Amino acid sequence: MRTTGHNEETAVAGEKVRAFIPLPLPPKDPPIHIEGELAAALRRAEQSLARLELAGEMIPSKEWFLYAFVRKEAVLSSQIEGTQATLMDLLNFEAGGSLLGADETDILEVCNYLDALKYARAEIAKATGLPVSMRLLNETHKRLLKGVRGRSKQPGEIRRSQNWIGGNRPGNAAFVPPPPHQLAGLLSNLENYIHKEDALPPLVRAGLIHVQFETIHPYLDGNGRIGRLLITLLLEEWKLLSEPLLYLSLYFKRNQRDYYDQLNRVRTQGDWESWLGYFLTGIAEIADEAVDTSRELFAVVSRDRAKLLKAKDSSVMSIRLFEELPRRPVVTMPAVVRALQTTKPTAAKAIKVLENIDILIEETGRGRDRTWRYKHYLDRLGQ
Q: What is the pLDDT of residues 158-174, one digit of tens each?
A: 999 999 998 888 888 89
Residues of each domain in the chain carrying CATH 1.10.10.10: 311-381
CATH architecture of the domain with range 5-293: Orthogonal Bundle (1.10)
Q: In this structure, are residues 167 and 173 in contact, taking their beta carbons and an 8 Å threshold?
A: yes
Residues of the chain with pLDDT under 50: none
CA atoms of 91 and 264, how far apart (whole Å): 36
Task: Look at residue 141 in the predicted model and tell me its pLDDT.
Answer: 97
Task: Look at residue 171 in the predicted model and tell me its pLDDT.
Answer: 82
SS3 11: strand
Task: Look at residue 153 in the predicted model and tell me its pLDDT.
Answer: 84
Q: H-type helices in 59-96, by residue range?
A: 62-80, 87-95
Task: Look at residue 72 in the predicted model and tell me its pLDDT.
Answer: 86
CA atoms of 198 and 194, how far apart (whole Å): 9
Q: In this structure, are residues 246 and 228 in contact, taking their beta carbons and an 8 Å threshold?
A: no
Task: Look at residue 253 in the predicted model and tell me its pLDDT.
Answer: 92
CA dihedral defined by 95, 97, 100, 102, rounded to 10 degrees? Answer: 50
Task: Look at residue 7 in the predicted model and tell me its pLDDT.
Answer: 93
CA atoms of 289 and 72, how far apart (whole Å): 13
CA atoms of 326 and 335, how far apart (whole Å): 14
SS3 360: strand
The CATH number of the structural domain formed by 311-381 is 1.10.10.10
Residues of each domain in the chain carrying CATH 1.10.3290.10: 5-293
- With a CB cutoff of 8 Å and minimum separation 6, the contacts of 254 are none
